[in-house]
Amino acid sequence: MPLHRLLRLSPTAVLGLWHRTETAAALGALLPAGAPYAALLPPTAGSERQGQWLAGRVLAHAAAAALWPGAPGLLVRNDAATGRPYLEGPGVPASAVVSLSHSGEWAAALLATGGQVGVDVELVRDKARRISTKFLAADELAAAQRVGTDAYFTLLWSAKETLYKLAERRGLIFKEQLLLEPFTPASAGEIPMVLRLAEGQSRHRICYSQPAAGYVLTHCWEPGAPTATP
């Protein structure tokens, strides 16, 4: 069972990582609510996409068991309008929040009782570099080009994805509203960021690490809503 890690960020928040080696059928057998999930599985997804989708839900159940041992009826659903995952079922706190991500062989999940969560795992590729002008502001792009590696561009994309999930706002413009502040890249650390909304801006710190060679992981859990400033 390749549950790679469950990291308790606090008494009310757990970050999980799953290294996927199983087939989609094997992952489906690990879910306690197999029949409901079979109906929720994206019908047009191929075997690889199905495996990623199922791994995220198996991981969410493992993290939930650590947070809420009395919630055997947990079900992970997706909001029809936004696609964001949410939790329901007996024993699940009304304030429960969840963020899921998958890429390549890895799945990540961040669950908490209250607050805001965001998580993203990415396979390092040249894609983030190729689309960098679409998601990086001019000063961010200049700084990224000085570093120049695919891993760095992928990290910046992942950090913005995590903040986007944390914000829970549709239609945000990555290069204008999800802004990076200067930081010194390392194998693990924090990236300071600013979220700009119509009602003001707020500051956030996105944690990052390398779960395996060729991958980056970013996450953020905030127990209370940040105060926006004009």
CA distance 187 to 185: 7
Is 140 annotated as belonging to a binding site? Answer: no
- 57 annotated ligand binder: yes
In sequence order, what are the residues at sequence separation of 6 or more whose Cβ sits closer than 8 angstroms to the Cβ of residue 215?
Answer: 103, 104, 106, 121, 122, 123, 124
Beta-carbon contacts of residue 75 (< 8 Å; ≥ 6 apart) = 33, 36, 37, 87, 88, 89
Tokens standing for 36?
């409901």
Instruction: List the one residue out of 226, 156, 154, 155 whose CA is nearest residue 195.
Output: 226
Determine if residue 19 is labeled as part of a ligand binding site.
no
The answer to whether the annotation marks 129 as part of a ligand binding site is no
Please tell me whether 120 is known to bind a ligand.
yes
Q: CA–CA separation, 182 vs 174, rounded Å?
A: 17
Please indicate if the annotation marks 161 as binding a ligand: yes
Binding positions are 49, 57, 101-102, 120, 122, 161, 165
Residues forming the annotated binding site for Mg(2+)?
120, 122
Binding-site residues for CoA sit at 49, 57, 101-102, 120, 161, 165
